[in-house]
Structure 1
Amino acid sequence: MARPNEEVAAVLQEYAGLLAITGQDAFKARAYEKAARAVAGHPADIGRLDEADLRQIPGVGRSIAGKITEYLETGRIPALEETRTQIPPGVRELVAVPDLGPRKAMTLHRELGVSSVDELAAAARAGRVRDLKGFGERTEAHILHGVELMRQAGDRILLDAATGIAGEIAAALREVPGCADCAPAGSLRRMKETVGDIDILVAARDPGPFMEALTRLPLAAETVVHGDKKTSVRTSAGLQVDLRVLPPEAWGSGLLYFTGSRAHNVRVREIAVRHGLKLSEYGLFDAETGKPVASAAREEDLYAALGLPWIPPAMREDRGEIAAALRGELPGPVTVDDLRGDLHTHTDLTDGVASLEDMAAAAARRGYSYWAVTDHAPGLAMQRMTDEKILRQREQLRALARRHRGMRLLHGAELNIDEHGGVDWPAEFLAGFDVCVASVHSHFGLGRREQTRRLVRACENPHVHIIGHPTTRRIGRRPGIDADLDEVFAACARTGTALEINGSPHRLDLRDEDILRARRYGVRFAVDSDAHSTAELDQVRYGVGTAQRGWLTTDDVINTWPPARLRRFLRKDRARAD
C-alpha cells in the first residue's frame, strides 16, 4: 500500500499530464510536476500535515496545498475530475506510448480516430500516420518502436519501486519472531533496471509464521500460493511477490540459487559437476555420498569451495564473470561507499524543488568531499535561466562554502547540446564554471549520423567535462537516440570527457551493456544522482548498481577520486589525471 506521499504525488503528476494534454499553461503543468516530485520525496508523512505545513514543502503553494488537503480529506480533486472529462476516450492511453506527446496524441485521435494503442500500431503499420502534417515516416517508425517498448515493459516495474516494495516487506518480516535474516533475491538483488516480480528470502526454522505474515500485509491483495516452501501474493497493481523460507544453515546456498541469473547458476553448477559435486538451494554436496562438502550458510564459502571468489550479485549475468574469476581477473566493482561526491544535481533555481542551501546540507550529510550544483542553462527555455541568475547563484555558493569547509562546493551547469553539437554560453563564460555536464534535451529524431556528430562535437568542447544521460532514454517511455555509440566512446576516451551513469531510476543511462563496451575504450564515468530534491540524492545507489553491472571499478569512476585527481580531470588533462 502506497504511503500518502506517493499516492498524492501520483495524483499531482496525473493532473500535470492532463494540463499538458489539454494545452493549458505549460508553466502550470510544470509547477504540478515539481510539486509531485517534492511531495514524493518529502520525509514526513503528508497525511499528518495541515495546509500550512504543506505549504512549507518546496514547490507547494497555496493552490496546490489546497488541492492536496482536499484529496486527503475527500479522496477527490474536483479540478482534476473536470479536466479528465475534457480528454477524449483513448487519448490518455496514447500519451503513455514512449516518444508520443500530448499534442501528437490529440492529432492522431482527431485525424485518424485512433483511440487505443492497438489502433495506433495498426495505423502506423498501414502507413496512415506519415501523411499527417508534422509527422512523416521517421515519426511513424518512432511510434511503432515506442509501442514495442511499451509492450516489452509489460507489467515490469522500475528498480526504485521494486526496492521500496521489497524494503517494506522485509521490514515487516524481520519483526516476525524467529527471523535470522531476510533479503531480496532475484533480479532486484542483481540491480536490473526493471523487475517483473519480487523474490524475498527469510532464514528461519519455522516457515509458517512468515508465510502467514506475508498474506496479511496490506499490500497483499490476493494470495496466489500458500505453502510451507513458498508463498506468493499479488499486489493490487498486479505485482507478484514470492517468499521462500530457508533454514539458517542453507541461507547462503538459497541466496545464491534464487539470486540467479539462471545462466550464471548454470555455469556455477557446471563447475560443481566437474568436481564431482552437486549444488542446490540447500547446499553443496558430494554427488555420490550426498554429504555436504562446505558450509552453506554463506555464499562466500560456497564460491570458495568451487575455487571462485565471491561474485557480486550485479555481475551474475553470464557475461564472462566466471571465466574472469577463475583467471583471478574479476574486477572489484565500485560501491556506494566509494563515492566522494555527486557531479549532477539541481535546485529550485530551475526545475529542482529544494534550495541551494538545503541541497548542499543534504550532500554534506552524506559525507561527500565535493558536491556540484548543475542547474539548467538557458538553452532549455522552460527553465528561464539567465546569465544574471547563474552568476548570482555562483556568489551564493561561494558564500555557502564557508559553512561546509569539509566539502568543496563546485559551481556547474547542465548545458544543452544543440542539433549541431554546440552548447549554451560562449567559451569565456563557460570557463568560469568548475564542472559542466552537457546533455541532449531536444532533436531526438535526428538521424544516426547527425546524432553521433553532435555528441562527438560536445566531447570535443574543452569546457564540457561530462556527457549527461548520453542516450536520453527514459525506461519504458522513450527510446535512446540513434547514435554510433562506439564512435562516441572513442571520442570520450580521446578528449578526456566522462560519460554519465545517471542514477535516476527512470533513466539509468548509460545502460549496463553500453558501459561494458565503453569501458573497453578506456572511457571514464561519473555516477550521478541527477537529483532534483534532497531525497533524490540517494538515487546514486541505482547508478552504482548499474555501474556494477558494467564491471566498473573506482579507477573508472571520476567521482570516487580524491579532489586533487578530480580537479586535474576537470581540466581535461587526461595524462596528468591518470
Structure 2
Amino acid sequence: MARANDEAAALIQELADLLSITGGDAFKIRAYEKAARAVAGHPEDIAGMDLAALKRIPTVGEAIAKKLLDYTETGTIRQVEALRAEIPASVRTLTGVPGLGPKKALQLYRELGIASVDELAAALDEGRLHGVKGFGPKSEENIRHGIEVLRQKGDRVLVGTAAELAERVVEALAPLAERIAHAGSLRRMRETIGDVDVLAASDDPRPLMEAFTALPFVTEVVAGGDKKTSVRTFRGPDIDLRVVPPDSWGAALQYFTGSQAHNVRTREIAVRAGLKLSEYGLFTASGERLASATEEEVYGRLGLPWIPPTLREDTGEIEAALKGALPDVVTVEDITGDLHSHTDLTDGRASLEEMVEAAAARGLTYYAITDHAPDLAMHRMTDAKMLAQRERVRELQKDYPGLVLLHGTELNIGPDGSVDWDADFLAGFDVCVASIHSHFAQDPADTTRRLITACENPHVNVIGHPTARQIGRRAQVQADWDEVFRAAARTGTAMEVNCFPDRLDLPADLIRRALRLGVKFAVDTDAHSVEDMRNIRFGVGTAQRGWLTPDDVITTWPLPRLRDFLAKKTT
C-alpha cells in the first residue's frame, strides 16, 4: 500500500498539471508544485493530521491544507476528479512530450483529435500540423525531438526516485542480512534507472524474501524464489532482490553492479588467464576459488585496481586501470562548499536562516546564497530585496564562525548572452552563477554565442545547469560545446554539475569533453529546500562518471584558492 504522503503529493502535482493545461494561474500552479514536493518529503505521515497540523507543513497554506484534508477523508481530491472529467487522460499523456506543452496538447486534441504520442508522431509524418495556428516548421522539429526524448526515457525513472526506493528496501531488510546494498545501474549512478537491483548476503534467504514481498509499497510479486525475487511497486520501478552466500559477496556485487560491457571485459581478462569469473567468484579451471569475498580481492586477482562503480561502463576504465592511470575521482567527502542555492526570497521553500543552518550541519566551509535576479519576473526580485538579503547574510555570518557565507545570485542568460543588472551592481556579489531559463529552441550558433558571451562577462563565475535540460521533459539546448568549453577555460568560468536528479547537468559525456579542454567545474546542489541538499550525491556521481578529480572541482578547493579563482574573472 502506498504511503499517504506519496499519494497526496501525486494528486497535488496532478492538480498543478491539470491547471496548467486549462490555463490556470501560473503562481497558483507553482504553489501546488512546491506543496507537492513538500508533502512528499515531509517526515510525518499526513494520515490523521487535522487542518492545523497540515498547515504547518512548509509551503502548505490553508487552501492546499483543505485539499489534503479532502484526500485524507475521501481518498481523493474532488477538484482533481472534476478536472479529470474535463480533460481526457490522453491529453495529459501528450503533455509529457518535451517541446509541446499543455496548452498546445489540448489544442491538438480539440482541433485534430490527436490523443496519444503515437498519433502525434503519425500526424507529424502526414503533415497534418501544417497550417495549425502556432505550429510552424521549428515547432514541428522541436516536437519530433521531444517524442524521441520521451521514447528514449521509456519506463525508466530518475536516479533520485530509484535511490529513495532502494534505500527504503535496504533499511527494512538490513536486520535480516549479513550484508545488503543496491547494485546495478543505480550503483553506477546512471541518470535514469529501469529496475532497481538490491543484493543481500545471507545463509538463510527465506526470511529476507518474505520480508521483501511484505513491504508496504510492493503491489505485486512477479517472481519468487530463494535466490531472486522480483516485485512491482506503487508508482515506482520494479525491484529485484538477489540473495547470495556471504562468502560470494564481493564477486556478486561486482557482477550485479555491471555494466554488461564492463563485465564482458573483466571476464575476457579472466579467460586469457585461464580462469572463470562469475557472480560466485573467480575460479581456476579445476574449480578452485581464488577470490570472492570483496570486490577489491576479485579485481586484484585479475591484475586490476578496484574500479569505482561509476566508471564501469567500458569507456576506457579497463585500459586506464591496466596502465595505473585511473582517476582518483571526487567523492562527497571532498566537497567543501556549495555555490548555488535558493531561499524563499525567490523560489526556494526554506528561509535564509534554515538554509544556512543546514549548510553548517553538512560540515561545509563555505556556502553561497544565490537567489534569482530580476529578469525572471515571476520571482519579483528587486535591487532593494537583494541588498537587504546581503545585509542579513552579513549579520548571520556572526553566528557561524566555521562557515563562510557568500552572497551571490543566479543570473538569467538572455538570448543575446546578457545578464541581469549592470556591472556596478554585479561587482557587489561574492559569486555569480548564470543560467539559461528560456529560449531553449534557439539556433545552435546563437546559443553558442549566447553562452560564450556569458562566459566572457567578467562577473560571471559559474554557468549553471549549462545545457538547461530536464531529463525526460526537456532536451538540452543545442550548441557547439567545444567552442563553449574553450571559452570557459580561457575566461576562468566554471561549468556547473547540477545535482538535481532531473538535471545532472553538465551530463557525464559533456563533462569529459570539457575536462579535456581545461575547464573547471562546480558541483552544486542548486538546493531550493533543506531536503535538496541531499542531492549532492547525485551530482558527485555524475562528476565521477565524467572522470573528475577533486582538483577539477572548485567546490572541493579551500576558500583561499576558490577566492583566487573567482577574483581572476574581475582583473
TM-score clears 0.5:
yes
Question: In the alignment, what sits opposite 1:365?
Answer: 361
Contact kept? 1:501, 1:509, Cα under 8 Å: yes
Work out whether 1:502 is the aligned partner of 2:498. Answer: yes
Question: In the alignment, what sits opposite 2:129?
Answer: 129
Contact kept? 2:222, 2:230, Cα under 8 Å: yes
User: Matched residue of 2:398: which SS?
Assistant: helix
Q: Distance in 2 between matches of 1:564 and 1:40?
A: 39
Contact kept? 2:461, 2:569, Cα under 8 Å: no
Contact kept? 1:22, 1:86, Cα under 8 Å: no
Question: In the alignment, what sits opposite 1:265?
Answer: 263
Q: How does 1:167-182 map to 2 (within 5 A)?
A: 167-176=167-176, 179-182=177-180
What amino acid does structure 2 have at the position aligned with 1:83? L
Question: In the alignment, what sits opposite 1:307?
Answer: 303
Aligned residues: 571
User: Matched residue of 1:334: which SS?
Assistant: coil
Question: In the alignment, what sits opposite 1:559?
Answer: 555
Question: In the alignment, what sits opposite 1:75?
Answer: 75
Of the candidates 202, 213, 216, which is equivalent to residue 215 of structure 1?
Answer: 213
Q: Distance in 1 between matches of 2:53 and 2:5?
A: 14
Q: Shift in Å at residue 229 of structure 1?
A: 2.0
User: Matched residue of 2:568: which SS?
Assistant: coil
Contact kept? 1:187, 1:261, Cα under 8 Å: yes
Q: Distance in 1 between matches of 2:236 and 2:26?
A: 33
Q: Distance in 1 between matches of 2:63 and 2:224?
A: 47
Contact kept? 1:465, 1:572, Cα under 8 Å: no
Q: Shift in Å at residue 88 of structure 1?
A: 4.6
Q: How does 1:405-424 map to 2 (within 5 A)?
A: 405-424=401-420
Contact kept? 2:163, 2:186, Cα under 8 Å: yes
Q: Shift in Å at residue 428 of structure 1?
A: 0.6
What amino acid does structure 2 have at the position aligned with 1:292? R
> What do the CA deviations read for 1:190-242 (whole angstroms, capped 9, x no partner)?
11011110111111112222222222222222222212222212224473211
Question: In the alignment, what sits opposite 1:291?
Answer: 288
User: Matched residue of 1:245: which SS?
Assistant: strand
Q: Shift in Å at residue 328 of structure 1?
A: 0.8
Contact kept? 1:501, 1:511, Cα under 8 Å: yes
Contact kept? 1:348, 1:355, Cα under 8 Å: yes
Q: Shift in Å at residue 90 of structure 1?
A: 2.7
Q: Distance in 2 between matches of 1:461 and 1:429?
A: 13
Q: Distance in 2 between matches of 1:526 and 1:431?
A: 20
Q: Distance in 1 between matches of 2:253 and 2:89?
A: 47
What amino acid does structure 2 have at the position aligned with 1:408? V
Deviates more, 1:399-408 or 1:91-100: 91-100
Q: Distance in 2 between matches of 1:509 and 1:167?
A: 24
What amino acid does structure 1 have at the position aligned with 2:389? Q
User: Matched residue of 1:375: which SS?
Assistant: strand
Q: Distance in 2 between matches of 1:211 and 1:58?
A: 38
Contact kept? 1:448, 1:484, Cα under 8 Å: yes
Q: Distance in 2 between matches of 1:3 and 1:369?
A: 37
Q: Which stretches of structure 1, 4 residues or more, deviate above 6 A after TM superposition? A: none
Question: In the alignment, what sits opposite 1:442?
Answer: 438
Structure 2 unaligned regions, length at least 5: none
Contact kept? 1:5, 1:45, Cα under 8 Å: yes
Q: Distance in 1 between matches of 2:91 and 2:239?
A: 32
Q: Distance in 2 between matches of 1:572 and 1:8?
A: 49
User: Matched residue of 2:381: which SS?
Assistant: coil
Q: Distance in 1 between matches of 2:2 and 2:225?
A: 27
Contact kept? 2:459, 2:569, Cα under 8 Å: no
User: Matched residue of 1:410: which SS?
Assistant: strand
Question: In the alignment, what sits opposite 1:345?
Answer: 341
Of the candidates 318, 331, 347, which is equivalent to residue 314 of structure 2?
Answer: 318
Identity of aligned residues (%): 61
User: Matched residue of 2:198: which SS?
Assistant: strand
User: Matched residue of 1:67: which SS?
Assistant: helix
Q: Distance in 2 between matches of 1:85 and 1:292?
A: 63
Query: 1:86/1:405 Cα in 2 relative to 1: closer, same or farther (>3 Å)?
Result: same
Deviates more, 1:77-86 or 1:488-497: 77-86
What amino acid does structure 2 have at the position aligned with 1:247? P
User: Matched residue of 1:414: which SS?
Assistant: strand
Question: In the alignment, what sits opposite 2:28?
Answer: 28
Query: 1:104/1:572 Cα in 2 relative to 1: closer, same or farther (>3 Å)?
Result: farther
Contact kept? 2:231, 2:239, Cα under 8 Å: yes
Question: In the alignment, what sits opposite 2:253?
Answer: 255
User: Matched residue of 2:533: which SS?
Assistant: helix
What amino acid does structure 1 have at the position aligned with 2:544? Q
Structure 1 unaligned regions, length at least 5: none
> What do the CA deviations read for 1:237-290 (whole angstroms, capped 9, x no partner)?
473211111111110000001100011111111111222211111111112x21
Contact kept? 2:432, 2:462, Cα under 8 Å: yes
Q: Distance in 1 between matches of 2:189 and 2:108?
A: 38
Q: Distance in 2 between matches of 1:127 and 1:412?
A: 48
Question: In the alignment, what sits opposite 2:197?
Answer: 199
